[in-house]
């Protein structure tokens, strides 16, 4: 018969005491009990225990934390890969420190005994190897290594297969989160999964999630879009309605668990551990050979191709996963709820904008004269270009904020802002006139006299000198009897002098 899908999802855990060894754990103050109607009921209210009554209830009995053997590595303060020489050196150092003859502290004797016991284990290679493999259970009387290995194999190679449930030394603990809000107790005892665990019953386990990836553009992430994704979820077989049987066939009792749905293993004398039967997945019955459904081969579930539309909201960020409840794999037990579809969004980077949360950032290049004199530039936004006024004297790297031109965060109304950074662009070459004007500007800023101003002053002085010589010539002519009462012509020295004066004063 083909193996069932994801059998590890149906695992459960059941640990309880044998009545014959009940007194060994009578002082245990910690007992975890789960019932359909009264989860908080203490074990002390129960009548004397019986293995036949371990039906729908699941118990875990832990020995008192104060009476549990201590880790010899922690007692000596050495690493697990420490050499025998390092262990011996540390032991002698601690022994001298806590020896009752030299240490008056009342707790020194107890500490010295712990150090001696730890060293007795670690100095012996065989005892140390057994402790590294089986933990403190290896030091208990009547420990059966073969039975312990059988229990480990039943849990998929060790209790560490539960992920967070460790059987290493004295570190056997239940760790917290298991991911997506599930704890180790959720997986071991099916808390909150809508099912009851017990002999002949299939646990109402939740179906597995399906994960896929969708790529979108930067603009689609800002404005929202939709995508069709193709998945292959596990669903109930329509041919046999999930039974795994061909028409007219019936299920038979599981021979591995004798119909109980659970298999028990003895870890120590009187200490039993139970797990869901891997042959029938806890149902207590199997599909007989030759009675399998021709479509699903007796599994009761098949994979089908399915297309799902995913609505991607505006403002989604790169790496965000969108969950579609109930679109994952069907429950292995057939009674639990299906898993979810997780669509992870990959957003392509933009060449125009940079994004931080709901804010956008854009760089604008402006010429040097616009930065000095002011002007207007066109700035792109998510809704098209807008006209922005650049104030005079804008400095390189100066920012301007355009309120409300950012991104609307997913499932929120407030939009972010667009931050515009002005980068001043300098020309690589200048015309002679541009260079002359910039030189005059530089000379004016630095308080120097430019070369062009000197040239203008020289030409004005030459003109004045020429006018003086002409005046002296006219005077000599008058003195020699020439008629001076005639009006001067436009080309006379008076006209030239007047025009020169007008030019100098700017008329």
* Token pair recorded at residue 85: 């020489």
Domain with CATH 2.60.260.20 in the chain: 354-425
- Give the whole-angstrom CA distance, residue 245 versus residue 392: 84
- Give the whole-angstrom CA distance, residue 262 versus residue 198: 8
How open is the CA angle 59-63-65, to the nearest 5 degrees?
Answer: 130
The per-residue DSSP string of 172-238 comes to --B-SB-STT-BHHHHHH-TTTT----TT----PPPPPEEEEEEE-HHHHHH-EEEEEEE--EEE-T
- Give the whole-angstrom CA distance, residue 25 versus residue 27: 6
Question: Architecture of 354-425 per CATH?
Answer: Sandwich (2.60)
Measured CA to CA in angstroms, residue 283 lies from 35, 40, 237, 390 at distances of 19, 27, 18, 76
Domain with CATH 1.10.287.110 in the chain: 72-123
- Give the whole-angstrom CA distance, residue 259 versus residue 180: 33
Nearest to 423 by CA among 362, 470, 374: 362
* Token pair recorded at residue 480: 């020699």
Q: What is residue 464's predicted lDDT score, i.e. its pLDDT?
A: 45
Question: Architecture of 72-123 per CATH?
Answer: Orthogonal Bundle (1.10)
Could you tell me whether strands 234-236 and 225-231 are parallel, antiparallel, or unpaired per DSSP bridges?
Answer: unpaired
Consecutive 10-residue averages of pLDDT for the chain (507 residues): 40 36 38 36 40 39 49 88 90 88 86 89 86 71 59 48 38 34 42 41 75 95 94 92 88 87 69 77 84 88 94 93 93 84 95 94 94 93 94 93 91 87 91 89 78 50 48 45 43 54 52
Neighbours of 193 (CB within 10 A): 20
Neighbours of 90 (CB within 10 A): 18
Nearest to 27 by CA among 70, 62, 1, 79: 62
Q: What is residue 438's predicted lDDT score, i.e. its pLDDT?
A: 86
Q: What is residue 182's predicted lDDT score, i.e. its pLDDT?
A: 41
What are the φ/ψ torsions at residue 328 (nearest 5 degrees)? Answer: -90, -155
Residues in Cβ contact with 412 at an 8 Å cutoff, skipping those fewer than 6 apart: 315, 358
Residue written as token pair 């994801």? 6
């Amino acid at each position: 018969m083909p193996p069932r899908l994801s059998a590890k999802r149906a695992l459960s855990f059941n640990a309880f005491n044998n009545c014959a060894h009940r007194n060994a754990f009578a002082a245990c103050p910690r007992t975890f009990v789960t019932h359909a109607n009264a989860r908080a009921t203490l074990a002390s209210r129960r009548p004397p225990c019986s293995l036949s009554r371990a039906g729908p209830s699941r118990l875990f009995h832990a020995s008192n934390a104060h009476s549990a053997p201590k880790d010899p590595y922690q007692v000596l303060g050495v690493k697990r890969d420490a050499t025998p020489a390092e262990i011996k050196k540390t032991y002698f150092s601690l022994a001298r420190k806590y020896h009752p003859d030299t240490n008056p502290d009342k707790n020194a004797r107890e500490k010295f005994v712990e150090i001696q016991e730890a060293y007795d284990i670690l100095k012996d290679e065989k005892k140390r190897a057994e402790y590294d493999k089986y933990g403190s259970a290896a030091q208990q009387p009547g420990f059966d290594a073969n039975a312990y290995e059988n229990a480990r194999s039943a849990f998929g190679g060790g209790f560490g297969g539960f992920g967070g449930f460790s059987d290493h030394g004295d570190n056997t603990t239940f760790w917290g989160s298991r991911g997506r809000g599930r704890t180790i107790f959720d997986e071991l005892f099916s808390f909150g999964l809508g099912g009851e665990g017990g002999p002949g019953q299939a646990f109402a386990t939740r179906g597995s999630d399906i994960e896929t990836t969708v790529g979108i553009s930067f603009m689609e992430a800002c404005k929202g879009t939709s995508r069709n994704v193709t998945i292959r979820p596990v669903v109930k077989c329509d041919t046999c309605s999930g039974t795994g049987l061909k028409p007219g066939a019936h299920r038979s009792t599981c021979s591995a668990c004798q119909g109980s749905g659970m298999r028990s293993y003895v870890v120590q004398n009187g200490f039993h551990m139970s797990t869901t039967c891997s042959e029938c997945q806890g149902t207590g019955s199997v599909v007989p050979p030759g009675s399998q459904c021709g479509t699903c081969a007796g599994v009761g579930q098949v994979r089908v191709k399915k297309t799902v539309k995913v609505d991607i909201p505006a403002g989604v960020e790169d790496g965000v996963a969108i969950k579609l409840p109930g679109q994952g794999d069907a429950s292995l037990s057939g009674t639990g709820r299906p898993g979810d579809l997780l669509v992870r969004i990959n957003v392509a980077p933009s060449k125009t904008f940079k994004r931080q949360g709901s804010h956008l950032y854009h760089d604008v290049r402006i010429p040097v004269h616009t930065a000095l004199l002011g002007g207007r530039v066109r700035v792109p936004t998510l809704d098209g270009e807008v006209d922005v006024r650049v104030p005079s004297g804008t400095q390189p790297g100066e920012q301007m904020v355009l309120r409300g031109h950012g991104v609307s965060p997913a499932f929120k109304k407030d939009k972010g802002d667009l931050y515009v950074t002005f980068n001043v662009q300098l020309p690589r070459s200048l015309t002679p006139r541009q260079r002359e004007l910039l030189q005059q500007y530089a000379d004016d800023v630095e308080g120097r006299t430019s070369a062009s101003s000197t040239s203008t002053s020289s030409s004005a002085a030459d003109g004045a000198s020429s006018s003086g010589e002409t005046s002296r010539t006219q005077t000599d002519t008058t003195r020699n009897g020439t008629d001076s009462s005639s009006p001067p012509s436009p080309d006379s020295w008076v006209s030239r002098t007047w025009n020169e004066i007008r030019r100098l004063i700017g008329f």
